[in-house]
Structure 1
Amino acid sequence: MSLPRHALPESEVLRYVPPVRPVSPADVAARVAEAPRLAVLDDDPTGTQTVKDIPVLTTWTVEDLRWALRQDSPAFFVLTNTRSLSPQDAATRNREITRALHEASRAENIPYVIASRGDSTLRGHFPLETDVLAEELTATGAAPDGVVLVPAYIEAGRLTVDSAHWMRTPDGLLPVGESEFAKDATFGYVSSSLPDWIEEKTKGRVPAGQVLRITVADLRTGGPAHVADQLRTLRDGATAVVDAVGDDDLRVLALAAAEAEESGTRLLYRVGPSFVRARAGQPAHPPLTAAELAPLRAPAPHGLIVVGSHVSLTTRQLNRLRERAGDVVEFELDVAQLLDPARRDEHIRDIATSAADAMKTADTVIRTTRTVVTAADPDESLAISRSVSAALVETVRLITATHRPAFVIAKGGITSSDTATHGLRIRRAWARGTLLPGIVSLWQPADGPAAGIPYIVFAGNVGGDDALADALALLRSAA
C-alpha cells in the first residue's frame, strides 16, 4: 500500500469514512458481563490510561492473579514491562504469566482471554509476544484461531483507516512509519500499512495479502454481526487488522468479538490502549477532579516527578513545566556517570540525598540526561536503557525511603514500569482514572510501602506541550 511521506489534513484522510455507528458502553458491558475475563498483559504501564477502577498487578504469582480474577471487574492488567527486555527475556516472561494465569483461572473457575497490549505507535516485541502466547494457549488446549491487531489510541490521535495507521500531529495526520517512533533504535520499522507492517515484522512469514482487513466500512456499515462473521473465518492463528477512528468503532468490534467467541472462535489480541476500554464496556471518563484527588493524595506538602523518556515531546513538556512551575527543583542523573562503574553508585546517592532534602520545600524533578546514548546493536541500546532506568529507579527508592512524597509522577513507559515495580514496590493497585483526558493514569497502590501515595503513569509519547505542567497543577490544586 502506497502512503504519503508527509502529514495530510485529517479531513482528507477521513473523507470517505462512513457515518459513525453508535454503540453505547452499557450495551457492551451487558454483552460481556458473562464473557471470559480480559487479561491485559501490558508491555509497559501506560495501557491503563484509558480505564477507570480496573485492577493492576505488577507481579504474576498464582495468588496475585487469583486476587485479580476475584475482583468485580471485566478486565485486569498485568504489568509485564517486556518492552524493556531482550527478546529472550520477554518470551520467558510471557510464558511464566500465561502458565500462572491458566492455573489461577482453573483455581477460581473463571475463564479468560488475553490481550497483549503494545504501543500505539507500533513499538514492542511483535510478533514475538503473540507467537509465545499462542504457543502457551495451544499447550492448554485453547489454540487461538486468530490474532487480532488493534493498535488505535483514540485520545492520542493514533487512528487506523483502511488498514493504514496514522498519528495526529500539529500538521495533520502523519503515517506512523514516518514518525520519530518508527526510528526507534530497538523496535524501528518502515511500514504504515498494517498488513505490510506485519509482513515486515514477521520477515515475510505472514504475507500482507494473507492478513484479514476489517475496515471502518465493515465496522460502521456492516456492524457487529458482519464483523463477527469475518472473525469466524480466522483459522490456524491467522492475523486480522482492525480499523478504528473513534470509540464506537471499537465497541462494534467488542460486540463482534464477544459474538464470535461465544460461538467457539478463539481470539488472541494485540492492542493499543483504547480497545481495553471498549471491551470493558466503559465510556471515556472525564479526568479526576481536585475534589476526587484530595483523599488520594498523601499527607505531605510536595511530590516527586521522575522523567526518563527521551522523546522530543517529553523534552518540550519538561521545558513548559519549568516555565509554568518556576518553583520546581530539578536534578539530573548524568548518563555518562551512570555508565561508569567507578562513579555510578556515588552519583546516585548524591542525587538522591539532594532530591530528598529539596522535596521538603518544593516539588522535585529528577531526570536523566536529555541526550540519548545508543549503541550500534539494538540489544546493546536496550541494555543501556535498562541500566539507566535501573539507576533512576534506585534513586527513587532512596528518595522515598528518606522522605515520603505527596505523589509520584513517572514520565516514560519503561520509567513508569520500573519505578512502580522496583522503586515503590507496588504489587497490586487500582487504576482510578486519569489526570488528563484518557492519557495520564493514576494508580492507587493497594498494598506495600507505597500504599497511600498516588502514582501517576505518564507515557513519554502522549499529550500536548503543556500536559506535564497541567498534571502537576491539578495535583497541586488537590492539596
Structure 2
Amino acid sequence: MPPSLEHLPPVRTVPAEQVRDALAGTPTVVVLDDDPTGTQPVRDLPVLTRWSPDDVAWALAQGTPAFFVLTNTRSLDPDAAAARDREVVRTCLDVAHREGVALVFASRSDSTLRGHFPLETDVIAAEVGTPHTVVLAPAFPDAGRVTVDGVHHLRDGDRLTPVAESEFARDATFGYRSSRLADWVAEKSGGATPAAAVAEVRLEDLRAGPVEIPDADVVVLDAVVEDDLRAAVLALLAAERHGARFVYRVGPTFVRARVGQPEHPPLADAELADAVGRGHGLVVVGSHVGRTTRQLEHLAGRRELDTVEVDVPAVLDGTADLDATAAAVATSLEGRTTVLSTSRTLVTGRDEAESLDIARRVSAALTTVTARVVTDRPPAYVLAKGGITSSDVATDALRADRAWVRGSLLPGIVSLWTPTSGPPLVVFAGNVGDDGALADVVDRLEEAACA
C-alpha cells in the first residue's frame, strides 16, 4: 500500500539562497535534456538545440550556473542516442578545457521514468573518464511526481499511485514494471546493477539535518517538496568538494534546486505580452497520452478554434498531402487560434524499435507542416504539446539553435522559450497539467497576443 503523506517527518526548510551561496567555485552544470520539457521549472538559463563549439562557447559565456543542451535522445534508438550524447559531451569538454571552465553533467529525463537508462549516464561517465556515482532523482513535485522510501509515485492531492501502475509504465518504447527505484535500476540495467548496489537517501534523513551521500553505484534521492531536493544538493556539493564525482539522472525540479533557483511564479501578464507576437497562435500536438486528449477536448470546449489534422495512417503509407495541410493551417491562423494535431488513434509498431520509428515519422510530418506555416505566415507564438514534438518543432521547424528559457506559464510547468531569432516557443509536456491546463495556457497566450 502506498505511504500516507500525513505521517511523513516535518519538512526541513532549505532556502534557495543557501544553495546559491554553496555554488561559489563549483562547476557549470551541463544538462543534457532528452526532450525540451526539462526546462519547465527554471527561468533565465540558456538552452542550445545545436552543439557546435561556437554554440557551447556562447552558452558558457552567459555566466549562468547551468545551461541546457537539447539532445532529444528519447526519440532515438539506443545506438543513435549514445552517439549523440557522446558527441555533445566531447564538444562541451573540449570547449570547457579551452575556456578553463570545469563542468559536471546531468542527464535530464522523464519524471515518469521513460527514457534511455542506464545508457545515457554510462556514456557520460565513460567520456568524463573517472569513476562516478549515478544520482537518481526523478522527482518533479510541481507535476505531482514524488519519491518516498525509495518508491516513485504519482501524486494526486494526498493520494499516491506507484508509477508502475500508471499509463506511463505501459509506454510502447520505454515501459517498465518496477516502482521501487532500486528495482527499476536492476530492471533497466538487465541486472548489471542489482538492487543491492543501489543506496537510498530517505526523507527522514534529509529532513533531520545534514546528510552524507552514500558510497554506491547508484544513489536514489527521496523528495516530496523542493526543500528535500535542496537538502540533497547541499550534501552533494559538499561531497563534490571532497572529491566525489557524480553523474546526475534527474527530473526537471532537481535542476532548479541544483542551481539555487527558488520556486518561480508563472510569468506575469506584462512579461508575456512583451514576449509573444501579435495575432493568433499555433498549437502543435503530437502527444497521445490520455491527459493530452482530455486537454484538447477542454480547449475546444472553451474557445472557438480551428483544428487541422495530420492523418497518421496516410503519413505512414506515404499518401499524406502536407502542402495542403500547411495551406489550411496558414489560412486558419488569419482568423483564430489553430490546432495542428495528429489523428487521435494511437498507432504503434510490433516492437519498441518500430514504435519509436513511427513516432519519429509522425513528428517529422508535424514539423514539416509547422516549418512551412512559420515561413508563410508566422504565428504570434507556437505551442508544442509533447516532448518529441517540442524538440522537433524547436530544432527543425523554428531553427532555434540558441534560446533563453524565460519562465513558466503555470506553476513550475509549461515553459516559454525566446529564441535568438524566430517566434516564441511554448514547451508543454504531454504528461503534465490538469484537464483544463492547455486551455488555461492558450487563454493567457491569446490575451497577450491580442492585447
Same fold (TM over 0.5): yes
Query: What does residue 178 of structure 1 align with?
Result: 165
Query: What does residue 144 of structure 2 align with?
Result: 157
1:40 positional shift: 0.4
Matched, 1:454 2:424: yes
Runs of 4+ in 1 over 3 A off after TM superposition: none
Q: 1: distance between equivalents of 2:371 and 2:66?
A: 30
Instruction: Calculate the TM-score normalised by the size of structure 1.
Output: 0.92
Query: What does residue 380 of structure 1 align with?
Result: 354
Q: 1: distance between equivalents of 2:436 and 2:6?
A: 31
Label 1:170 to 1:185 Cα distance change in 2 as closer, same or farther (>3 A).
Answer: farther
1:171 positional shift: 8.4
Q: 2: distance between equivalents of 1:218 and 1:203?
A: 30
Q: 1: distance between equivalents of 2:84 and 2:193?
A: 24
Summarize the alignment of residues 362-401 of structure 1 with structure 2, pairs less than 5 Å apart. Answer: 362-401=336-375
Q: Which of 327, 330, 337 pairs up with 1:353?
A: 327
Query: What does residue 258 of structure 2 align with?
Result: 279
In 2, are the aligned partners of 1:33 and 1:74 still within 8 Å (CA)? Answer: no
In 2, are the aligned partners of 1:70 and 1:108 still within 8 Å (CA)? Answer: no
CA RMSD of aligned residues (A): 1.1
Matched, 1:420 2:394: yes
Query: What does residue 411 of structure 2 align with?
Result: 437
Query: What does residue 468 of structure 1 align with?
Result: 438
Query: What does residue 79 of structure 1 align with?
Result: 70
In 1, are the aligned partners of 2:281 and 2:446 still within 8 Å (CA)? Answer: no
Matched, 1:332 2:332: no
Question: 3-state DSSP class of the match of 1:432?
Answer: strand
Q: Which of 229, 232, 235 pairs up with 1:256?
A: 235
Q: Which of 294, 318, 322 pairs up with 1:316?
A: 294
Q: Which amino acid aligns with 1:314?
A: T
1:16 positional shift: 3.6
Q: Which moved more, 1:170-179 or 1:75-84?
A: 170-179
In 1, are the aligned partners of 2:285 and 2:341 still within 8 Å (CA)? Answer: yes
Q: Which amino acid aligns with 2:182?
A: P
Residue segments in structure 2 that go unaligned for 5+ positions in a row: none
Query: What does residue 115 of structure 1 align with?
Result: 106
Question: 3-state DSSP class of the match of 1:372?
Answer: coil
Question: 3-state DSSP class of the match of 2:266?
Answer: coil
Matched, 1:201 2:178: no
Instruction: Calculate the TM-score normalised by the size of structure 2.
Output: 0.98
Q: 2: distance between equivalents of 1:171 and 1:379?
A: 37
Q: 2: distance between equivalents of 1:350 and 1:255?
A: 55
Question: 3-state DSSP class of the match of 1:294?
Answer: helix
* Equivalent pairs, count: 449
Q: 2: distance between equivalents of 1:101 and 1:310?
A: 34
Q: 2: distance between equivalents of 1:270 and 1:144?
A: 16
Q: Deviations over 1:88-142 (max 9, x none)?
A: 000000000010010111121111100000100000000111111111111xxxx
Residue segments in structure 1 that go unaligned for 5+ positions in a row: none
Q: Which amino acid aligns with 1:467?
A: A
Q: Which amino acid aligns with 1:362?
A: R
Q: Which amino acid aligns with 1:80?
A: T
Q: 2: distance between equivalents of 1:213 and 1:222?
A: 16
Provide the identity percentage. 53
In 1, are the aligned partners of 2:410 and 2:441 still within 8 Å (CA)? Answer: yes
Q: 1: distance between equivalents of 2:430 and 2:156?
A: 15
Q: 2: distance between equivalents of 1:459 and 1:446?
A: 22
